[in-house]
Chains A and B, each alone.
Chain A
């Protein structure tokens, strides 16, 4: 089945850009997502990208997709203390998503003052 890998931790200074990376194995993935989870909360959908796109920008967020290398990244510009959370990459496979989403283990984003 699908495998999704992420680094466990990322530490950045407040005001800098954060880049969270994700690699996946299934080249037939159709939609790719980034979710954010704050302590004690559920998952918040940040953004998604279709597999036929290579970039999507949404305010401070930029998603880059390299299908050849099966690599997805999320860039957060001007990182703030409120961005401190766990960020999950998730992949929707073929078959209309009937097998649900496959999530990475999440990247803990730590903001240094």
Chain B
């Protein structure tokens, strides 16, 4: 079966712009989580959606937002981009909320802010 698909793979944006990243989970998975990966901070939890509802959000400013559609596909949006937002953004899906038996991760979207 198809894995977790993230688009685009690479993005270059300018400071102050906004960006939308997309994630299609494994078919049947209703939980989608987003993580930010940087060399300095490592992997940090952004938020999780389950059945179109945000369960929780990590310690990120309000510029980071997301949503989940009825087909479980998810998007995350970052507004007013800062240089520090440059990172690999990883999406992960799971059958169950909270990923009890583990998440399946996508290959990520590498965002560069210049």
- Which A residues fall within an 8 A CB radius of B? 30-31, 33, 35, 40-45, 48, 88, 90, 92, 96-106
A residues near B101, Cβ cutoff 8 Å: 31, 48
Q: Which of A35, A98, A100, A105 has the most CB of B within 10 A?
A: A100
Count of CB-CB pairs between chains A and B under 8 Å: 65
A99 touches B107 (CB 8 A): no
- Interface 0/1 of B83-114, CB less than 8 Å to A: 00000001010000111111111111000000
Task: Please measure, in the bound complex, the distance between the C-alpha atom of A42 and the C-alpha atom of B98, giving whole angstroms.
Answer: 19
A residues near B33, Cβ cutoff 8 Å: 100
- Which B residues fall within an 8 A CB radius of A? 4, 6, 33, 35, 42-43, 45-48, 55-56, 58, 90, 92, 97-108
Contact check: which of B42, B97, B105 meets A44 at CB < 8 Å? B105
A residues near B107, Cβ cutoff 8 Å: 40-42
Task: Please measure, in the bound complex, the distance between the C-alpha atom of A17 and the C-alpha atom of B92, giving whole angstroms.
Answer: 30
B102 touches A96 (CB 8 A): no
B42 touches A98 (CB 8 A): no
17 contacts between A and B (CB under 8 A): A33-B102, A41-B107, A42-B106, A44-B105, A48-B101, A92-B98, A92-B99, A97-B97, A97-B99, A100-B35, A100-B45, A100-B46, A100-B48, A100-B58, A101-B43, A103-B43, A104-B42
